[in-house]
Structure formats: C-alpha cells, structure tokens
Amino acid sequence: MPVQGEIFLDKHPLRTNRSQVALMPQRSSINWGFPITVEELVALGQVNVAKKSCCEIEASLQRVGLSGLAQKRLDALSGGQQQRALLAKTLAQNASVFLLDEPCAALDPPSRSQFLRIVRQLAEAGLTVVVSSHDWGQALNAYDKVITLDRTVLAFGTPEEVRNKLDSISSMGNHCCG
C-alpha cells in the first residue's frame, strides 16, 4: 500500500482541480452562532459556481430532508439538522470527489440511514466519496473499501476483509497475552 504520492482526477493532479472536491468538515469545527439561514449556508457551497442555482440549493436541501427549514437560522437547528445542513452544502457543490469528516456525528438512526443511502447513490453515480469516521457499526457496510489506521495502516479492503483482518489481529493479541 502506498504511503505517499499524488492523487489524480481525470489524469490531472487533484491539487490543480480543487473545484471538483467538496469538503464536509466536522460539525464541531463550525460556528453555529453565525447569523445565516440554512439556505444561505447551502448557497455557500456554490462559491466556485459562476451562477448560483436556487434549484440546486433546493434539491440539496430536499435530498437531506431540510427543505422545510431553509429559512431557519443555523443556531435554531438541532445537532442532527446542522449535520444534514452541512451535507446539503457539500452536495450543492456538484463536485466529483466528496471528503466527509465524521458525517454521521449527531445523526439519529433514520438520518444516518438516509445519509448512507446518499453516499451509496453518489458512489453508484461514479463519484468518489472518502469518509473519515470512528463509526464501526453497520455504516461500515455502506462503503466499498475501508482503511483502518492507528498510526499506521492496520487493514485495507472491503468491509468484510477489514473485519476479518482486525479479528485476526485481535485474536492473536488475546492468544499471546491471555
């Protein structure tokens, strides 16, 4: 497995094609007291778009189940609604690569299922989705490939391959130490 290198998108270095990358930061890194509405937050996702599309903003809000809250201020939302607003902002960017940092944090089970459906739809549409997460539950099955890290790569592969590798590491540790 490579430990360094460069990522290419359509034969061009990703660093020269950043407009194709959408980032969903951790919810905790956002100032939720900033006085804007959900709709305005989602519109910020279209910063690199020549003409902002109201239809794209509404479609993103609808996709995450927030169209009825478009005019609400961010500080009036629950943690899960804030997380879905961040996802809507990310989707509004119409990127081909999505980097999602702890996207399931603060989501209740129905919202988490909806999020995982969206991730699957993006992947099936041929888009690249990279998720950073501590979630080792059923969400793991939503991904095509998984990398587990702990200062180094512990396992890489399909969710099943990674689970098997980690189980074997765990059982070796228990056998040696028990």
Residue 89 CA to residue 20 CA, distance in Å, equals 14
Exposed (0-12), middle (13-18) or buried (19+): which is 23, by Cβ within 10 Å? middle
Instruction: Find, among 176, 137, 131, the residue nearest to 149 by Cα.
Output: 131
Domain residue spans of the chain: 8-144
Report which secondary-structure segment, H or E, holds 171: helix 159-177
Q: Give the per-residue pLDDT at 5.
A: 83
pLDDT of residue 38: 95
Q: Note the pLDDT of residue 175.
A: 41
Which residues sit opposite 98 in a β-bridge?
22, 129
DSSP assignment letter at 53: -
pLDDT of residue 178: 38
Whole-number pLDDT of residue 51 = 60
Q: What are the beta bridge partners of residue 156? A: 147
CATH architecture of 8-144: 3-Layer(aba) Sandwich (3.40)
- Dihedral (CA of 28, 127, 122, 74) sign: positive
d(CA 157, CA 73): 41
Predicted local confidence at residue 49, as pLDDT:
63
At residue 50, the pLDDT reads: 58
Per-residue pLDDT of the chain (178 residues; tens, 9 = 90+): 566 788 888 888 888 888 888 999 988 888 888 999 999 999 988 876 656 677 888 999 999 999 999 999 999 999 889 999 999 999 998 889 999 998 888 888 888 888 888 988 998 999 989 888 887 666 677 788 888 888 888 888 998 998 888 888 877 664 444 3
